[in-house]
Chains A and B, each alone.
Chain A
Amino acid sequence: MLQTYAPILILAVLVAGFALASLVLSDLLGKKRRSIGKADAYESGMDPRGSARLRLSIHFYLVAVLFILFDVESIFLIPWAATVRGLSAQGLGPVMFFEVLAFVGVLALGLAYVWRKGGLEWDR
């Protein structure tokens, strides 16, 4: 019975081992040039000291959300573009066309919405 759990154990050991090996090996093999900046906590380029409750412009979030929206759009459009020719040859042209039309139509409505609401303007 317990043997069937072996794959989980092996996976756990591999994951822990990889993490440990990465830390130990980089410590053993890596060059060590110490400086104040390097000894500091890494905080994605932010200053790690002071209050964490900084005020960030809401624009950054808006841009990030819009980026994800239209980024995902391209992820879906690329496989469509790659397969459309082959599938059209099999008589699926109209299906492919209206399928992507509905998809792009919904996104176009979203873009129009963002545009008219002033979401694309940085200074408002």
Chain B
Amino acid sequence: MNPQDLLTLFDAAAMTALAPLIALALGTLAVLACGIIPGGSVVRPIAFLASLAAAAAYCVKTLVDGAPATLVLDGTFQSGPTTAVWGLVFIASTLFAWLYSAHYYEEDAPFKGEHDVLMLATPIGMMLMAGAHDLLVFFIGLELLSIPLYSLAAFRRDRIRSIEAGLKYFLLGAFAAACFLYGAALLYATTGSLSLDVFADPTRRAVILDQPLALVGVALIASSVFFKVSVFPFHLWVPDVYEGSPTPVTALMETGTKAAAFAFLLNALAMLPNSTAGSIALIAVITMAAGNFGALAQTDVKRMLAYSGIAHAGTLLLGVAGSLNGDPARGGAIEAALYYMAAYVATAGGAFGLLALLERENKGTTTLESLKGLAQRRPVVAAALTLFMLSLGGIPATGGFLGKYLVFSVAVRAELIPYAILGVLLSVVALGYYLRVIIAMYMQSPAEGSVVPESRPTPFATTLASVVCAALVIGLGILPRWFLEVM
């Protein structure tokens, strides 16, 4: 590249595309600086929220402008309405996790500053992943997201489960990152390019996919992305890591990371030939089975939700497989994925948030046993948790139902009908464990002699986040039009 091109690289279009990322990056630095300036702990939440708000405002501006998607930064980064909606999904996911974390770490409060810096850095990585049109840009985003999450997973350093979660996530994540780089290197060796455009071109793709080395590269990249979205057979780390991590961090991993990896997966589909749709759909159905049957056996609600997250990744992967089967359905797949993840961020975010609240009262446990009789003790919390469980299970009038409907209809349109039928049947299995939570709360009373935890006043941040999550779940469920029209 000519040195003079450096000046044109960061033109107005590039700065517009990068504005939300820059807002978040400056916010991260400001939150870090709050740790060393006098009165910083008062300014910190303001800096955090201002940075998220600025990033959200830039995303909304992109949506309102309605300009079509453009490639900037020498064709390595894509920006447009789709990435803007993804950006809002990531910001919402971070916001919910942060609100729920406000009162979660009582004894670790001195380190809340570090916690917030790490948490605010994650949406930058997610946005880079969602907009990446180049494998290396995606990799930078992936690391920018993963490295803070490794330390956040181990944040409760006085608890051995948390440290175990951090170590497991780090080791397996590093392994997945190495797989990705090796795959990218092999693709570069065969094609001389890392740009997704090269793979999107059908004639060039046919030539590329004829070479075994390139196929190995695609397989390696697919396994590392599948690891991040917890798809079978790369899902075994999920229950341990999600259970051991601090609950607000689990919410962030479950919603934000998954959304970002799926956003990239939809962009990167061009790498895979259409003939692989059947095998991807098969993997999706196996993932759903692994998640749902795994969840049935759990007695800890947090671990159960981790398995349920695997099942949801499988469901969404079925929609992704649908988009492989020819281009006409592709737009539908992106819409379905965006809707599914938006509803999922509110649903899973809220569910984990309420678990974080209950965990504080129950001295760290989130078993089904501890939920018994919750409807009498905390009727509002029980009602909200019921709503989130129904949405996770896909009951109509919630966001979760329409998300599932859209995903399955993409699969049906792509003629993956047997897989869609299997998927729907497996979703019925899922109701088994979601309803068990509701039964425990409403129809069972605590065992004789068990100590009923003292109810404590609910922190304002938790109430606010739960109300917003519940409103989004219902709003997306009964008025989906406004969301679908935005795109």
Contact = CB atoms under 8 A, between A and B. Distances in A.
A109 B7 CA distance: 27
Interface in A39-87: 87
Contacts, number: 31
Contact of A92 (B6, B33, B36, B213): B6
Contact of B35 (A4, A92, A95, A113): A113
A104 to B, nearest CB: 13
Nearest to B32: A113
A95 B6 contact: yes
Q: Give chain A's interface residue range (CB within 8 Å of chain B).
A: 10 to 19
A4 B3 contact: no
B117 to A, nearest CB: 9
Given A4-B211, A87-B3, A90-B4, A109 B35 contact: no
A20 B36 CA distance: 55
Interface of A: prevailing SS: helix
Interface in A75-124: 87, 90-92, 95, 106, 109-110, 112-113, 116-117
Given A4-B211, A5-B212, A109 B29 contact: yes
Contacts of A117: 35-36
Given A90-B3, A92-B7, A106-B29, A116 B36 contact: yes
Nearest to B216: A8
A92 B32 contact: no
Contacts of B211: 4
Nearest to B30: A109
Contacts of A8: 213
A112 B3 CA distance: 33
Chain A to chain B: the 3 pairs with minimum beta-carbon distance, closest first: A116-B36, A4-B212, A113-B36
5 contacts: A90-B4, A95-B7, A106-B29, A109-B32, A109-B33
Given A90-B4, A92-B3, A109-B32, 9 more contacts: A4-B212, A5-B212, A7-B213, A87-B3, A91-B4, A109-B29, A113-B32, A113-B33, A117-B36
